[in-house]
Amino acid sequence: MLLVRFILSLIPRQSPQEPPQDRGLNRRRSAALGLVVATLFLQSCAGTGLGSAVERALSSGNSTGTPAPSPGQDPPSPEIPNPEPSPNPDVSTPDVSTPVEDPLSSPETNATADSPGGVVSRDLSANEVVLSLDPAQSSALVDLTTAPLALQPAIRDVIALGSLVLTSSPAPNTLPFPFDQALTRREFVRWLVTTNNIVYANRPAQQIRLAVATETPVFQDVSSQDPDFGAIQGLANAGIIASTLRGDLTAVQFQPNLPLTREALLQWKVPLDLRQGLPTATIEAIQQTWGFQDTARISAPALGVVLADFQNGDLSNIRRVFGYTKLFQPQKTVTRAEAAAALWYFGFQGQGVSAAEGQPLAEPTSPSPTPQVSPSPN
């Protein structure tokens, strides 16, 4: 307070009679004098607590550039900048410029290109098509519209077994799988043996044993290195296919790549239905049972299987696959749809297994022993 009074005493007082020009001069002198006194005061306070407080007050007001709050207002909150995140050396940042490979789109796991689920059943080679084991997914691989409507339910059941495998055409890029095309002899043998062994998975006595590569080939055109040697030679070993093993000395070639005929289908399928000796048959017997108008065109070795198939009722291969017909057409080519439908059922006269249930449709039951009733004592 003493300092303030001293500064005020140095300022000359203004008189009402003082001219205006003298008033401005006096004001400038007073301001200069006040500045000199304030400077001397600050220099005298340097190094003291009061000087430090004044310096902090002046520096804080000038550095922020923020005006002092008016009375009654809260001071503004200081703005805190967001700190830059420091890189973590243990966490690698993915390079967005490099595309990430989708494992479902790689050729090794999506060879069928649908999967549904394309879910693909397994890897495919360049010349193999595998129908999915999942019926919901296999519908995306198989074009059932190429099959007769009456055969489609049976074909779906067989597809669900996963036994319809092709190692020839079509290649995977020619899907969907066409069922209206012809089937080769080797392909049907593969389907036949595979399906039979699947539906009888719990009954090894009904399965076909595959041949091993160390066996001597029974057919001149099917070597032990053939991919279907195990199935073809296996059926020959079982006596299902005509060969020199069962006394057919002229059956030295199998001709695996020829189209499958209706007669050959029955010759290889019916023995696996009957599981016993074939009946002796004649042309007259076939005419009396089936009533075929072209019975004379059936070869003598096939007469027995055609007659046995008639005895299988509505589950016979001819009725299930070809429907009602008065012509057998033994040398007509079989389509994939017809071959797959024939594999829907294995059995004779109601005792067999179907692809729909994968279990016996009707098992023979042993009669229960009659209980012995002991006379009650009187």
Q: In a structure prediction context, what are the per-residue pLDDT tens digits for the chain, which is 378 residues long?
A: 555 565 556 555 555 555 655 666 666 666 666 676 666 666 666 666 666 665 665 555 554 445 545 555 555 554 555 545 545 544 444 444 444 343 323 333 333 333 333 333 334 333 333 444 333 333 335 678 889 999 999 999 998 888 887 654 444 444 467 899 999 999 999 999 999 999 999 999 999 999 999 999 999 999 999 999 999 999 999 999 999 999 999 999 999 999 999 999 999 999 999 999 999 999 999 999 999 999 999 999 999 999 999 999 999 999 999 999 999 999 999 999 999 999 999 999 989 999 987 644 544 444 444 444 444 444
* Amino acid residing at 124: L
Which pLDDT score, from 0 to 100, does residue 170 have?
45
Q: What residues form DSSP beta bridges with 346?
A: 353
Contact 305, 275 (CB under 8 A): no
Tokens of 234: 């296996």
d(CA 78, CA 98): 43
Q: What residues form DSSP beta bridges with 143?
A: 178
Contact 171, 159 (CB under 8 A): no
d(CA 194, CA 374): 54
User: Which whole-number Å values give the CA distances from 247 to 252, 275, 305, in the listed order?
Assistant: 11, 20, 18
Residue 252 per-residue DSSP state: -
Write down the residue that tokens 């239905």 correspond to.
273
pTM of the predicted protein model: 0.60
